[in-house]
Amino acid sequence: MTNAHKDALFVLVKSLSKSEKRQFKLYVGRLGVNTDAKFLALFNLLDKIKQYDEKIILNTGIVKKAQLSNLKAHLYRQILVSLRLNPVNQNIRVQIREQLDFATILYQKGLYKQSLKILDKAKSIAIENEEKNVAYEIVELEKIIETQYITRSIPDRANELALQAKELSGQNVMTSKLSNLSLQLYGMMLKVGYVRSDEDHTRVEEYFTNHLPKYTLKELGFREKLWLYKAHLWYSFLIQDFLSCYKYSSKWVDLFNENKEMIYLNPVFYLKGNHYLLESLFYVKYSSQFRETLDQLEEQLKDKDFPKNDNINSLAFLYLNANKLNLHFLEGTFAKGLYLVKIVEYGINKHKDRIDIHHVMVLYYKIACLYFGIGDNKTCIIYLKKIIDNKHLKMREDLMCFARVLSLVAHYEAGMDYHLEVQLKSTYKFLLKMNDMHAVQKEMIKFLRSLGGIYPNELKAEFQKLHTQLKKYEDHPYEKRAFLYLDIISWLESHLENKPVSQIIREKALAHTR
């Protein structure tokens, strides 16, 4: 049996909405000969079964084993053609590509004048909508046609096309360099997280400086600016300069707000920009602006004109709920955030084919923190176990590290001392293996390890000692990241002041907004 999530055709069929399935059947039935087509029978079968099983398909007699691969490939292509014809998918980018295809067909038929007319119109639309890669393709085709059909209306047509090609090529090269830099920095962020030492900082800084192309901001178009702000944003995240993160994520969102038409053409980039703006606001603890930005994003998503598709729906679920959880962490209103747990669990299941495992684990970590905040440590441990036991999590090793540290604290708080020693040894070995043993983690493990020999009347003094030790790391350039994952300081203060941790965080939030 093939895993349903690994069979591309089955996943595609299951992703179709009712209207898309209906359209596919109408598309197939446009010619009577297709009514009993084998690929339609295969489509109907895949639509009915809950899990992909090759034996079920072969037992129906629709197709022989030797022909199954070809039939699946044919069905896959037919579904894509049907989806392409769907008006929902007819955005500017697809329309320009379609016009380029039409022009190519006309050129191959020798109808040069008609081809050039379509190309000129498509090129204008492409440039207007910042689709410079396809605009360059159009100019290149225009150049080929002009070598066979010389138009008399524009005497310097050759010079015009040459200059246009040079300009578009330069802009595309700039975009390519900036997007490459942004992607590489994003890869560093996913793999190892924030910089951990002066050596790391120097390495990242040198990489960024050496790969950032020279530019004049006023000469950059929308797309080049977008990639520029992305590159700066990831660099800022890596070096933990969160004010700079706020600066460049704001520039990213402002760029879209200044070019409203681009929101509808690039809704994914718009959503991501808002998500990183919210993440930056969370790190710098601007709770009032965080709430305002989150409300604005939610309103934008409700707008009837905002693009709707499966990918956008999945991203909207992910970003809205992750940041709603963050808002409760900022304000210390953990109990009020519990309603989100069922919504997140349902959404993870609904969007499982479109959300990668890393983002699912981040959501589980946030839920664990939510339960930790209300003192439900056993439920906290259940969600952390989902992360710790995950053998496929290759990204963000720091998330795994702090999940283990929080699990230690939750075991202690839950009075599960019989598990603590095993957990301590396992976590210590893991951190050494990951080469991620920071001062904050060392102090936490040393404290938890010493608990067995501390008398109850000495406990408060030990909490105070650890609090004093950790406070000096709160603003340390490389140690402060520990507090982004787990507010250890507030946890310690809750023990010292005999208050719930949520109350401590809420009081800090109120003091911060005054």
User: Between 439-450 and 397-413, two packed helices, what is the crossing angle to 10 degrees?
Assistant: 20
Tell me: the pLDDT tens digits for 355-380?
A: 888 889 999 999 999 999 898 999 99
pLDDT averaged over the chain? 85
Tell me: the pLDDT tens digits for 151-163?
A: 555 557 778 888 8
Question: What is this structure's pTM?
Answer: 0.82
CB atoms inside a 10 Å sphere around CB 372? 26
Task: Please state the rounded mean pLDDT for residues 243-271.
Answer: 94
The pLDDT of residue 181:
95
Tell me: the pLDDT tens digits for 74-128?
A: 999 999 988 888 776 668 888 899 999 999 999 888 888 899 999 999 999 999 9
Minimal CA–CA distance to 303: which of 272, 267, 274? Answer: 267
Please state the domain extents for the chain.
8-89, 92-153, 167-239
Run of H or E residues at 271:
helix 267-283
Q: How confident is the model at residue 514 (pLDDT cuts 50, 70, 90)?
A: very low
Tell me: the pLDDT tens digits for 312-344?
A: 999 999 999 999 999 998 888 999 999 999 999
Tell me: the pLDDT tens digits for 434-493?
A: 655 677 777 777 777 776 666 667 777 877 888 888 888 877 877 777 777 677 888 888
Residue 431 φ/ψ, nearest 5 degrees = -65, -40
Of residues 471 and 185, the one with the higher pLDDT is 185
What residues contact 122, with CB distance under 8 A and at least 6 apart? 96, 99, 100, 103, 138
Tell me: the pLDDT tens digits for 263-303?
A: 988 999 999 999 999 999 999 889 889 999 999 999 999 99
Cα(336)–Cα(513) distance, integer angstroms: 20
CA 250 from chain centre, in angstroms, equals 18
Task: Please state the rounded mean pLDDT for residues 398-405.
Answer: 79
